[in-house]
Amino acid sequence: MPVNQLTTSVPAWEAVDTGDFSEVVAELHGDSAATVLVIALDHGAEQLTDELTRALEKPGRTVLATSLYVSGVDAEVQLDDWLSRASTTWRFVLTGAPAAIMWARARLFAAGAMSEEVHSISTAAERVRRVFCAHCGSVQTLPVSVGDTYRCTCGVQVSVYYHYSVRQGGYLAFEAE
């Protein structure tokens, strides 16, 4: 299935090469944001976060870095705590595996962040994705690619569709044909 980059809702960060953050740095260089918060969402993102933090520094800007592992029990509490301190002059850079980024993006957008305020750098080409079932509404994290089919916990055989829901933080899955 071909992807039209102009109309697809598949996140652009899918195309970012592992560890290549030059595009995000260039974008943020032209941004007047007073504070940039870099969030490592798993162990694999630690080194990248260090390098990124240095690359993002510029006069008049505060660059903060934190580790907030999605696997941790208090990840939601920690993220909400950062969000309560954030203002409209903040920008967020999320680093980690795709599923972790999807989770954090959904939470940031639910808290009112605008898409231009959130940047994502995937550190892994791992195929694990969050998928939202259109039939039962459940969200599952599965090793699937767009176009794959699987049996949802609700019993319906669904296929992963080329539609990414920002609100759900996952790909939409419909009943397979």
Residues at the contact surface with Zn ion, assessed by CB under 5 A: 133, 135-136, 152, 154
* Minimum CB distance to Zn ion smaller for 104 or for 152: 152
* Minimum CB distance to Zn ion smaller for 64 or for 176: 176
Residues in the chain, how many? 177
User: How many other CB atoms are found less than 10 A from the CB of residue 160?
Assistant: 22
CB of 158 to Zn ion, least distance (A): 6
**DSSP character for 68?**
-
Closest by CA to 88, choosing from 116, 119, 52, is 116
Q: What contacts 24+ positions apart, CB below 8 Å, involve 19-25?
A: 19/48, 19/121, 19/123, 20/121, 21/48, 21/51, 21/52, 21/55, 21/121, 24/52, 24/93, 24/119, 24/121, 25/52, 25/55, 25/56
* Minimum CB distance to Zn ion smaller for 43 or for 135: 135
CB of 105 to Zn ion, least distance (A): 22
CB of 137 to Zn ion, least distance (A): 7
SS3 61: coil
* Minimum CB distance to Zn ion smaller for 58 or for 135: 135
CB of 128 to Zn ion, least distance (A): 18
